Amino acid sequence: MELREAGPVGLNELIRSYECTRKLTCEICAPLETEDYVVQPMADVSPPKWHLGHTTWFFERMALRETPAYKPFHAQYDLLFNSYYNALGPKWARNMRGALSRPTVRDIFSYRSYVDRHLMGILESGSEETVARISWLIELGIHHEQQHQELLLTDIKAILAQSCVALKPRIPTSPPWCPGFVGRRTIQPGSQPPTIGRQHRRCPGALY
C-alpha cells in the first residue's frame, strides 16, 4: 500500500486547491434538477443543498470571520449549516434538513459565490499577516469539503434511487481544470509507522 505524506503548501497551491475543490463540488451537482437539491429520503441522507451550504459555511465561520470587516452573508446560516460543532452554537436538526424550502438553491449558490469572492480577495490581495493567520484554516476547509464530496455522491445516489425513473449520478473523472495537488510524495512504509497529515503550531501533537 502506498501512503502519501503532505508537504508544505504554498499560497499559489492553496489558491489552486481551493478553486479546484469548490468547482468540483458544483460539478458533482451539475446534472441535478432543482427538486433534487432539497430531497431527504432518510435521516442519514442530507440534501445536496445542505452540503453546498455547509461546506461554504465552514470557510465563512472558520476562516473569513478571522478577518477584519467581513460581514456574514446571512445571520441564520450559523443555525442552518452548523453540523456537529457544538461550541459554535445551536444547529438545525439533522433529520429536518430536507424540510426547508428556504433558503432556495439559488440563494445557496449566491452564498457560495459571496464567500468565494471574499476569500479569494484576501488570498490574492490581503495582508501577509491575515493570509498567514487563515491559510491553515483554508487548507483544513479544503479537506473538509473533499470529505463532503464523497458524502454528496453517496447522498445523491440515495436520493435518485427513490425515483421511479432510472437515474444515476454523474461522477466527474480527471477534470482538465483540476490537475491534482502538488507538494506530495509517495513514501514506502518502513520499520516505523510514517506520520501522515499536517501539524499546526497551534495544535502540537494533533494531525489533520
Query: What is residue 184's predicted lDDT score, i.e. its pLDDT?
Result: 47
pLDDT band at 166 (very low <50, low <70, confident <90, very high): low
Q: Does residue 87 fall inside a structural domain?
A: yes
Q: Does residue 147 fall inside a structural domain?
A: yes
Task: Please tell me the distance from the alpha carbon of residue 84 to that of residue 89, in angstroms, as a whole number.
Answer: 10
Q: Does residue 197 fall inside a structural domain?
A: no
Question: Looking at residues 30-50, what average pLDDT do you find?
Answer: 96
Q: Does residue 199 fall inside a structural domain?
A: no
Number of domains in the chain: 1
Query: What proportion of the chain, given as a percentage, has pLDDT over 70?
Result: 75
Range of the domain at 92: 8-183
Q: Is the pLDDT of residue 203 over 70?
A: no
Q: Is the pLDDT of residue 1 over 80?
A: no
Q: Given the C-alpha cell 499536517, which residue does it identify?
A: 198
CATH at 93: 1.20.120
Q: Does residue 205 fall inside a structural domain?
A: no
| 168-197 residue pLDDT tens | 666 665 555 565 544 445 556 666 666 666
C-alpha cell at 35: 427538486
Q: Does residue 195 fall inside a structural domain?
A: no
